[in-house]
Structure 1
Amino acid sequence: MTRPTSRDVATAAGVSQATVSLVLGDKWRGRVSERTADLVRQTATTLGYRPNLAARNLRLGTTRTALLVVPALTNEFFARVYTGAARIAAEHGFGVVLYPSPDGTGPARDPFASARAALDGVIASSMAADTLHAIGGDALPLVMLDSDPAAGGSAHVNLAVADGMRQVVHHLESHGHRRFLHLASAIDSWTFDVRRRALTTHLDPHTELRTVRAPLSVDAARTTMEAALATPGPRPTAVVCDDDILAAGACKAARRLGLRIPDDLSVTGFDDLALATAVEPELTTIHLPAERIGEQGMTALLAVLEGTPWTAPDLPVKLVVRDSSGPAPTS
């Protein structure tokens, strides 16, 4: 069976090949009526027409491919970011290659012989701009997600993580908590720094705060929490965790020490991963719209590629109250 061509589509639709190229190349607005564009798309679908992407990309000097760089594949948050980015990319005839940086948040290596030749742009989630020089340097458009707005990059898409921590503080203090333990991530990154600063900023001046740091794993968090809770002196009544993974470890530590959650100790997380509802009691946490940040990241990259300035407010986040938090113990 002969593969249909753009000429076949033009003949069947009763339009010129130039019109077909404009419509299927998504450049018809202002040049072709919406009715004609719909007719061309319907005709192409009926005939089973598929554009020769390799030839088109060679002609246009573009690959219609974006690289999404993430610190790790083991965290479900980044899988959701990819899902959102890939959804928007597909709507515009782009593909997204997911690339976990081999060294986590450290310098990322170029995954191709030359990223500049293989990519149209880079989206980096929770990475620092200076860790991406080997991939594209200043030659490729770079959209930074959940990253320092003052750092380099063509555009930024961020979450309102500081407001998320404000919501956590308000929730716990409204339940009478005045002795806090911050189980902070040992990863040195902008997003965790923002959470730490927001926590100290929004605490009541009479609220006690102690901070301990742990690697981002359940076992490391459990070990760190067991040591922190065994420290002499008044025990904290609330544990604020930088991440749901750390919160799961905090809950395990509390149970091993015979503490009841939330009767003896309230625990909060951050991210609202699937893990948040897999533990008992289910975690009070901050929901981060991971797919939405992926969608906006890809939208921002498309805007940059078209030469359109990109600005957008931080994406709102929301406190989800579950059973791991409650009133402070009275004694």
Structure 2
Amino acid sequence: MTSNEAHPARRPAAARVTSRDVARAAGVSQAAVSLVLGDKWRGRVSPAKADAVRTAARELGYRPNLAARSLRLGRTRTVLMVVPALTTEFFARVYTGAARAAADHGFGVVLYPSPEGDPSPPASANGSVRAPVIRDPFDSAAATLDGVLASSMAAEALTTLRNADLPLVMLDSDPDDDRADATVNLDIADGARQLTDHLSALGHRRITHLTADVRSWTFGVRARVVADRLHGVPGALLRRQPAALCVDAGLQAAHAALTGPGPRPTALLCDDDTIAAGACKAVRRLGLRVPEDVSVTGFDDLALAVAVEPELTTVRLPAEEFGAAGLRALMAVLDGRPADAPTLPVELVPRGSTAPPPDAPGNAAHPGGT
């Protein structure tokens, strides 16, 4: 056996990318790289150079020495994101946006699903709903976190963290709530206005609001706005039917709304696309048609919205940008800067699940109200 056979050639380890490499690729100084990656560049580095630094860092695969930086800054470079449930598509997209923004700042995001915030509590073997077991993970974790990003639907999980005096940014929460250092919202009120006005413009007057059976600021806003928009509409009849955030609950709530006493509603305005999908099933099971007999609207514009037939008229929420905006606000709080706490715009997406009511001219000819 030759020496080469006894000791096979080893591939040299890849050299670690340094801040000097990033500076060279971006055409800036190392000081500028430190300012940009430490999110302290505003007013000191131009936006164009900051973008060049972030792009170079991503393309080169630059990873800062987090241990050394933590010792220097007194930070763990870790934030906690508290959401109602991991199985919810909307919050998965919010997390994706937050994680991408965190990576630009050299931070990591730990995701925690709050049991009491889960809108679909588990059932026991005999079918009864059992209360979730709450295990507080924060007592031991608080010392390893720099800050918290939390949905209002999981706010009750945050008592220990508030007591630990950690920076807190709330998502989709009452802006007057003084528990948070900053609040980042979607324009939920405008989304509810657009949906209600859409149905009203089509001629609907008998509308049942399938309300999410979740105690949360965001769903309270929707209920108030829908009622306010219909209050001045002549002949409007608004009813409410609560439903958990799942397809089966939407089906049951819609069935109750469509078969209850009094005139049948011509439109079902749902707080969530999953509720709306269940409502569409209920309409069909009663031998009715969507939208010719009953119009149905959703909220969120999940993948489910275009999986049903006809596709759902709904409100599109910029979930990833929402998460990124929340993370940026938390970074500002950590740096002692004023937090930009925007209200992000939402968009009505008319599709085939809405049309004029059955007694309106052209009902079948104009699906979606176009």
TM-score range, shorter chain: 0.7 to 0.9
- CA distance in 1 between counterparts of 2:345 and 2:19 reads 48
- The alignment status of 1:140 with 2:153, answered yes or no, reads no
Matched, 1:258 2:284: no
Aligned to 1:298: 327
Alignment partner of 1:308 is 2:321:
no
Q: Tell me the equivalent position of 1:74.
A: 87
Q: Distance in 2 between matches of 1:7 and 1:312?
A: 31
Cα distance in structure 1, aligned partners of 2:191 and 2:339:
24
Is the alpha carbon distance of 1:61 and 1:255 closer, same or farther for their aligned partners in structure 2, counting shifts above 3 Å? same
Question: Given that residues 214 and 221 in structure 1 are in contact (C-alpha distance below 8 angstroms), is that contact kept between their aligned partners in structure 2?
Answer: yes
What is the rounded CA distance, in whole Å, between the counterparts of 2:100 and 2:292 in structure 1? 43
Could you tell me which amino acid in structure 1 is paired with residue 95 of structure 2? Answer: Y
Distance 1:312-1:134 versus aligned 2 partners, 3 A rule: closer
Question: Residue in 2 aligned with 1:206?
Answer: 235
* Alpha carbons 1:127, 1:144 under 8 Å: kept: no
1:1-331 alignment, distance < 5 Å: 25=38, 50-104=63-117, 109-111=135-137, 114-127=140-153, 129-151=155-177, 152-203=179-230, 204-330=233-359
- Letter matched to residue 89 of structure 1: A
Counterpart Cα distance in 2 of 1:37 and 1:315: 24
- The answer to whether the Cα contact below 8 Å between 1:66 and 1:94 also exists between their aligned partners in 2 is yes
Q: Distance in 1 between matches of 2:48 and 2:321?
A: 31
Q: 1:129 to 1:20 in 2, by over 3 A?
A: closer
Report the CA distance between 1:31 and its aligned residue.
7.3
The worse-fitting range, judged by mean Cα deviation, of 99-108 and 289-298 is 99-108
> TM-score w.r.t. structure 1 length?
0.87
**Whole-angstrom CA distance in 1 between matches of 2:339 and 2:136:** 26
1: distance between equivalents of 2:182 and 2:90? 21
CA contact (8 A) 2:37 2:104 kept: no
- Give the stretch that moved more between structures: 95-104 or 38-47: 38-47
Deviations 1:146-199 (A, max 9, x none): 011122101000111111111111111111111011111111111111000000
SS in 2 for 1:193: helix
Corresponding residue SS for 1:133:
helix
Corresponding letter in the other structure for 1:58:
L
* Cα-to-partner distance string for 1:14-41 (whole Å, 9 max, x where unaligned): x999888667656577778999999999
Q: Deviations 1:266-299 (Å, cap 9, x if unpaired)?
A: 0001111000000011000011111111011011
Q: Tell me how far apart the structure 2 counterparts of residues 44 and 216 of structure 1 sit (CA, whole Å).
A: 41
Superposed displacement of residue 318, structure 1: 0.9
Distance 2:357 2:51 in 1: 61
SS at match of 1:323: coil
Equivalents in 1 of 2:99, 2:57: separation in Å? 23
Aligned length: 329
Task: Give the Cα–Cα distance (whole angstroms) in 1 for the partners of residues 228 and 58 of structure 2.
Answer: 57
State the SS of the aligned residue for 2:323.
helix
Structure-2 separation of matches of 1:209 and 1:246? 18
Q: Which position in structure 1 is the counterpart of 2:129?
A: none
TM-score (norm 2): 0.78
Distance 1:192 1:38 in 2: 37
> CA offsets, 1:184-232, max 9 Å, x none?
1111111111000000000125300111101111111111221221113
Cα deviation, residue 53, structure 1: 1.5
Unaligned ranges ≥5, structure 2: 1-11, 119-131, 361-370
